[in-house]
Amino acid sequence: MKLPISVIILTYNEELNIENCLKSISDWANEIIIVDCFSIDKTLDIVRKYTDRIYQHPFVDYAQQFNWALDNVDIKGEWVMKLDADERIPVELWREIARVLPNVPTEVNGFYIKRRVYFMGKWIKHGGYYPTWILRLWRKGFGRLEQRQMDEHTILSSGKTLKLKNDFFEENKKNLTTWIDKHNKYAAREIDSIMKPLGDLVSPSLSGSPVERKRWFKERFYLRLPLFCRAFLYFIYRYFFRLGFLDGKQGLIFHFLQGCWYRFLVDAKLYEARKARVEKAGKI
């Protein structure tokens, strides 16, 4: 059964991931839209088996790329779903969406869905990493990504939101070297967001939506902790107090790399950027 949903996926060299993603949505989504950043692998050969709605556009950052699609592509569905190439929608979630959409109140313009992350084949269930609620389904014309180089969220222009019960899955099939390279680039973008803020649309709030609470924790608490020390404190909190050790060896690798190494890398790049700014100012 096709649902009135247009799924938008951004791609760049995703031949290892994209087919699992497309298989999970092809029987349910009324439209699949691909915005590709000039892939040089077999990504587009795979995509063409599932859709001819393929657009290519230079990549600046995720928010600009996705918002370009919202502004320039003829989206036919009543609802828009944002999906990454390494994500998939299980049948249980599709069936839930099929039950909910026909009866959704007119004042509801978006749905939060829980993300379930698999790392090296293991569901990362602990460490405070699950459930992570993300706004991934919204009425066409009501949703847009906030303009940040990193950690961008979808913002609704108006209306209420609901939560769906079933999860969507994230499982990147690329190797650990690729994961590390990607997070090194993420760290550079995060420094740009910190050093050159463009004006956030998500307001930090402990009593707000899931993304507002997450933004509050990061900006009002974590970023006020001492540089470098906070990466280790965050890892200890996740791995021991939030029971990340229950995720096994894969969990140890994930929680350390994502919760300590990456956060320390961001701090190191931030220290470097601030030091360079001070030295530059001293020469003027």
Give the confidence band of 97 by pLDDT, cuts at 50, 70, 90. very high
Across residues 241-266, what is the average pLDDT?
98
Give the pairing type, strands 132-139 and 154-156.
unpaired
Question: 110 with 209: CB under 8 angstroms?
Answer: no
CATH class of 3-171: alpha beta
Q: What is the DSSP secondary structure assignment for residue 53, as one 8-state letter?
A: -
- Terminal C-alpha separation, the chain: 65
Domain ranges (residues) in the chain = 3-171, 176-283
| pLDDT at position 155 | 93
Task: Provide DSSP, 202-230.
Answer: SPP-TTS-HHHHHHHIIIIIGGGSPTTHH
Q: Which helix (H) or strand (E) holds 274?
A: helix 262-283
**For position 109, what pLDDT does the model report?**
98
Put residue 137 in one of left, alpha, beta given phi > 0 → left and psi -120 to 50 → alpha: beta
Could you tell me which residues come within 8 angstroms of residue 262 by beta carbon, excluding any fewer than 6 positions away? Answer: 183, 186, 187
Condensed to tens digits (0 to 9), the pLDDT of residues 6-65 reads 999 999 999 999 999 999 999 999 999 999 999 999 999 999 999 999 999 999 999 999
pTM score of the predicted model: 0.94
Residue 161, H or E segment:
strand 160-171
Q: What is the pLDDT of residues 162-191, one digit of tens each?
A: 999 999 999 999 999 999 999 999 999 999
pLDDT in tens, 65-83: 999 999 999 999 999 999 9
| Cβ atoms within 10 Å, residue 259 | 23
Are the C-beta atoms of residues 247 and 122 closer than 8 Å to each other?
Answer: yes
